[in-house]
Structures are given as structure tokens and as C-alpha cells.
Amino acid sequence: MNVQHTLQSVVKDVVNPCIGNRYATLNTVMIACRELLPENDI
């Protein structure tokens, strides 16, 4: 639960060229989580 309270929103850094929606890449998500997960024994 501590991770959920600490984690900030991930930036949607890519635009899908087919339908134009924005999404966050896996790399962006991993960067956001990389420090928090070990600190919380995950």
C-alpha cells in the first residue's frame, strides 16, 4: 500500500499514430517504479 500512496502519475510519453491516443511506455513505468519497489520490499 505504501507504494500506491507514494507513486506519482506516469507521463504519457507516446502517441499512437493509428488512433491518436497517448500512452506511457513500459520503460517510463519502470523508471517511475524502480526506486519505490525495493524500498517497500517488492
What is the average pLDDT score of the chain? 90
Dist. CA 18–CA 32, nearest whole Å: 27
**pLDDT for 13:** 94
**Higher pLDDT among residues 23 and 37, named by residue:** 23
What are the helix (H) ranges across the chain?
Answer: 2-6, 26-33, 36-39
DSSP designation for 40: T
The pTM (predicted TM-score) of the whole model is 0.68
What is the per-residue pLDDT across 18-33, written as a single tens digit (0 to 9) for each?
999 999 999 999 998 8
Q: Is the pLDDT of residue 1 over 70?
A: no
Percent of the chain with pLDDT over 90: 52
Give the residues across from 22 on adjacent strands: 15
Distances (CA, A) of 14 to 8, 11, 26: 18, 9, 11
**pLDDT for 28:** 94
